[in-house]
A and B are shown apart, each in its own frame.
Chain A
Amino acid sequence: MSAVMSGVMTSTVYVQLLDLACGALLATAVVIVWRRRLAAIIRTFAVQGAALAALAGVLAVHARDVRLGVIAAGVLALRAVVFPWLLGRALAASGPAPGERETRPLVNVTASLLAVAVLTLIAYAVSRPLTALAPSPAADAIPVGIAVTLAGFFVLVTRRRAVSQLAGFLLMDNGITATGLLTTASAGLLTEAGVSLDVLLAAVVLRALAGRMRDAFGDTDLDDLRELRD
């Protein structure tokens, strides 16, 4: 069995592919914080979904686990195709208004990028006990998952538009999924499917909500909405 496994994927190649997938996750998270144009953010988001699926795929081939393979396929379908499509629909529905096509962050982009740098270092610091529990190449990459989660949360709280907040929410979820895959390679298929469906439902609801908000108020700037209520 082990001979077959080493034939399928030597451990150096496994570690390298795993690290490449994690590096791609991190880099795409940075690009999502960096870019202003929502269309570019959505494209990057699709790339990140593919990187996450590749991560799951590498783990699946390494562990020779069919269920993980199914999860990888599910992640690819949901995060690289369905979510970007939903976000794209939400963006297209917002019409040709130029203001809606770019994010208007509360914190300027330069400060956001530096904040993400600090968040990455924090992620590295706080995940050391987790990594020390069972040192393995996958466990070593846990900081990447936590860093993406924190970056997603940062995007969620510092953006004004509903669509960019939705992107932040999905970025955070990508991070949580990556952390889950890296910590417990043998997570139940049912759990993963349940979580994914939950997120899908949340995305659909948020997307519908954003559409309703625009129909009612003509804008999805959440700060303006609070002013309307006062």
Chain B
Amino acid sequence: MSIFIKYYKSGGLNVAFSNKIWRYNSTSADMAINKGEEEEEFRVLDILKKRQRQQRRVNRRADVQPDRADRMPTDQNWGNVWPGPKTFHPSSVPLPLRQGYVPKGQAPPGKKANAELMKIPNFLHLTPPVIKAQCEAIKQFCTEWPKLLNSEEAIENHYPVEIITSDYCHASPSIRNPLARIVTLRVKLSTLKLDQHARDKFIRLVGERYDPETDLVTITADRCPIRKQNQDYVNYLLTACYHESWNFEEWEREKMEEDMEYYNWDKNPSKRSLVNWYLKTQNQSKELSDEEYSNYDVSQIPNGEEYKVAVSSYMNDGESEGTVEKYGEAVRKLLGLPQKKVVS
């Protein structure tokens, strides 16, 4: 019990009310009034009651036994002690580790009660001997690799088609991942039996999925929800393209010179101009028809073959130093001009 005295601040309106003084009894006064006896001792006023709390703190902490790590023999099998991924526990790991950033001169905090050591992922469960033992245990489920498939070429030879799928692991309650349904099929075009026309048609059908540098056709499917369905779809696409490319449709006859995918010198104006020029030099200017142009035997024209080869390679293989040089040489030879001087 304590003595309370409360004052009201007279803020102008409270003048009418008298200042009230609230007073609660003190221990001694009350006791004296009520009992009137024990007035000899003045009891101590224990406001904060500190002492009682301190007495209860005596806990028997002697129940904690010494660390398990001290009793571990040095030649024990560590794989038995730490079989799986576990948060670091200082009394089970017999290593004197320290972790933490401290100013210069201090020692980093020890391994006990160190939350940083508990946070980092540890690989105490995957020491090299343990990995070896686990590999040995799994080997019983492994089969041998076929003997003849000992090089890349052999594999490509026997197994030309590749199917690429991905599996995903995530830390989540479910193992499903929508990205796992994507299936990619890769095959080298040279392994498929296609003639000139079929190859051209195949490439046109497949479009940009064909990579001319590596000669690979890559077909990807992800439109079905399940991987198996996507696999079937991809297989279907390959077979369909293949068969389609062997089919000859009527409308393919309408293929014009502009649609041609390679440069056929015989059908192009370059031959026409060469023949015309040749005929002019022979003083035989005739008007030949298209067919005659294409059938004209170029070997009559001196250096004509070379010119044909040079122009074809220039057009088909692309423009580069070599092709341009060759063209230049061929033209010089054709026109009888002297060769380029080689300045050494």
Q: Does B associate with A? A: no
| Residues of chain A having any CB pair with chain B under 8 Å | none
| Residues of chain B having any CB pair with chain A under 8 Å | none
